[in-house]
Amino acid sequence: MPIELIKLIPWIPLLGAVLCAVCCMKPAWRKAAGPISVLSIFIPFLITCGVYSAASGLQGDDKVQTIYQWMSVGGFSVNMGYFIDPLTMIMLFVVTGIGSLIATYAMGYMKGERGYARFFMGVSLFIFAMTTLVMADNLVLLYLGWEGVGLCSYLLIGYYYEKPEAVAAAKKAFIVNRIGDLGFALGIFLTYMTYDTVSLSVVTSKAVAFLSDPNYIATSADLWIPFLLMLGAFGKSAQIPLYVWLPDAMAGPTPVSALVHAATMVTAGVYMIARLIPVFQLSPYALPTVATIGGITALFAGTIALCQYDLKKVFAYSTVSQLGYMFLGVGALSSFGGIFHLFTHAFFKALLFLTAGSVMHALAGQLDLRAMSGLRKKMPVTCWLMFAGCLALAGFPFTAGFFSKDTILAEAMVRGTGEHGSNLYFFLALMGLLTALLTAFYTFRLWFRVFMGPEHFEMGDDHGHSDDDAHGDDHSHAHEPHEMPWWPMNIPLVVLAFGAIFAGMIVHWTGWMEHSIETSTAQPAIALNIQTDPQPTPAYEIITVSNTTDTHDTATEHPAAATGHSAEHDRAHGIHILMMWISSFIALLGIGLAAYFHWLNRPLTDKVAAKFGMVVEVLYNKYYIDEFYDLVIVKPLRTLGHGFYRFDQAVIHGLVITVGYIPRLAGWSIQPTQSGKMQGYGLGMVLGVAIAALLVFKWAF
Amino acid sequence: MPETVMNSLTLSHFLMTGAILFCLGLVGFITRRNLIIMFLCTEMMFQGVVVTLVAFSRFHLNDTGQTFVIFVLTIAAAEAALALGLVVLLFRRKGTLDSLVWSQLSG
Amino acid sequence: MEQYLEYALYIASVLGALSLALMLPKERPGIRFIGPLLGTAAMGGLWLFLACSGIWDGRESGLASGSFIYYYLFSGIAIVSAVKVITHTRPVYAALWFVMVVLASSGLFLILSAQFMAFAMVIIYGGAILVTYMFVLMLASQSTSSDHASQAYEKVATEPIMASAAGFLLLAVLLSISFDYHSVDAARAPLDPANTDAALIESTLANRPLKAVKTFVNNAAGEPVEVISPAPPPNLDPTRLANAERIGLDLFQSHPLGLELAGVILLVSLVGAIVIAKTKVPDEQHAASG
Whether residues A140 and A212 fall in one domain? no
Residue type, A293: I
pLDDT at C62: 65
Q: A109 with A159: CB under 8 angstroms?
A: no
Judged by DSSP in three states, C227 sits in strand
The ranges assigned to domains in chain C are: 1-56+158-188, 66-75+88-146, 195-238, 242-278
Through-space distance between the first and last CA atoms of chain A, rounded to whole angstroms: 84
State yes or no: pLDDT of C210 exceeds 50. yes
Residue contact A679–B33, C-beta within 8 A? yes
ipTM over 0.85 threshold: yes
Residue type, A421: G
Whether residues A586 and A646 fall in one domain? no
Residues 6+ apart with CB under 8 A from B67: C247, C250, C251, C254, C255, C258
The answer to whether residue A686 neighbours chain B at the CB level (below 8 Å) is yes
Among B38, B42, B31, residue whose Cα is nearest residue C156: B31
Which of C33 and A38 is assigned the larger pLDDT? A38
State yes or no: pLDDT of B52 exceeds 70. yes
Which of A675, A679, A686, A689 to mutate: most B Cβ within 10 Å?
A: A679
Residues of A in contact with C173 (CB under 8 A): 690, 693-694, 697-698
How many CB pairs below 8 Å do chains A and B form together? 32
Rounded Cα distance, C145 and C272, in Å: 29
pLDDT at A700: 65
Whether residues A280 and A149 fall in one domain? no
The residue of chain B nearest to residue A674, with distances taken between CA atoms, is B107
Q: Which of A620, A651, A683 is the last residue of a domain?
A: A620
Residues 6+ apart with CB under 8 A from A58: A3, A84, A85
Judged by DSSP in three states, C90 sits in coil
Residue contact A690–C166, C-beta within 8 A? yes
Residue type, A4: E
Residues of B in contact with A674 (CB under 8 A): 105-107
Using the 8-state DSSP alphabet, how is residue A468 labeled? Answer: S
pLDDT at B104: 67
Q: Minimal Cα–Cα distance from C167 to chain B, Å?
A: 5
Distances (CA, A) of C201 to A4, A616, B31, C195, C245: 101, 129, 50, 10, 10
Residue A205, domain extent: 164-373+381-468+483-620
Q: Which of residues 216-235 of C touch B (CB under 8 A)?
A: none
Whether residues A112 and A209 fall in one domain? no
DSSP A52-73: HHHHHT--GGGGEEEEEEEEEE
pLDDT at C52: 75
A475 in a structural domain: no
Q: Which of residues 229-268 of C touch B (CB under 8 A)?
A: 243, 246-247, 249-251, 254-255, 258, 262, 265-266, 268
A473 in a structural domain: no
pLDDT at A535: 39
Instruction: Name all chains with 3 or more CB-CB pairs below 8 Å to chain A.
Output: B, C
A666 in a structural domain: yes
- Max CA separation in chain B (angstroms): 62
Residue type, C46: L
Distances (CA, A) of A16 to A21, A121, A122, A464, A549: 8, 7, 10, 28, 55
Q: What is the rounded average pLDDT for all residues in chain C? A: 79
Structural domains counted in chain A: 3
Rounded Cα distance, A279 and A461, in Å: 51
A336 in a structural domain: yes
User: What pTM did the predictor assign?
Assistant: 0.62
The answer to whether residue C51 neighbours chain B at the CB level (below 8 Å) is yes
pLDDT band at C9, cuts 50/70/90? confident
The ranges assigned to domains in chain B are: 9-96
Whether residues A495 and A386 fall in one domain? yes
Rounded Cα distance, C40 and C71, in Å: 17
Residues of A in contact with C170 (CB under 8 A): 686, 689-690, 693
Whether residues A305 and A202 fall in one domain? yes
Judged by DSSP in three states, A418 sits in coil
Which of C235 and A291 is assigned the larger pLDDT? A291
Distances (CA, A) of A119 to A31, A102, A369, A611: 12, 13, 27, 45
Rounded Cα distance, A478 and A468, in Å: 9
Judged by DSSP in three states, A421 sits in coil
Q: Which helix (H) or strand (E) holds B1?
A: none
Q: A125 with A11: CB under 8 angstroms?
A: no
Cβ atoms within 10 Å of A526's Cβ, excluding its own: 18
Q: Which long-range contacts (CB under 8 A, 24 or more apart) does C117-126 make?
A: C117/B50, C117/B54, C117/B66, C117/B69, C117/C243, C117/C247, C120/B69, C120/B70, C120/B73, C121/B50, C121/B73, C124/B73, C124/B76, C124/B77, C125/B43, C125/B47, C125/B73, C125/B76, C125/C99, C126/C99, C126/C102
Burial classification of residue A223, based on how many CB atoms lie within 10 Å of its CB (0-12 exposed, 13-18 middle, 19 or more buried): middle
A335 in a structural domain: yes
The residue of chain C nearest to residue B91, with distances taken between CA atoms, is C140
Rounded Cα distance, A267 and A256, in Å: 14
Instruction: Name all chains with 3 or more CB-CB pairs below 8 Å to chain C.
Output: A, B
Judged by DSSP in three states, A579 sits in helix
Which of A181 and A1 is assigned the larger pLDDT? A181
Among C224, C128, C156, residue whose Cα is nearest residue B34: C156
Q: What is the pLDDT of residues A320-364, one digit of tens each?
A: 999 999 999 888 877 888 888 999 999 999 999 999 988 888 888
List the CATH code of the domain at B9-96: 1.10.287.3510
Average the pLDDT over A203-210 and give the result.
Answer: 85
Give the ranges where A213-334 is alpha helix by DSSP (H): 220-236, 245-248, 254-258, 268-275, 277-281, 286-306, 311-331
Whether residues A601 and A674 fall in one domain? no
Whether residues A438 and A516 fall in one domain? yes
Whether residues A679 and A694 fall in one domain? yes
Q: A190 with A246: CB under 8 angstroms?
A: no
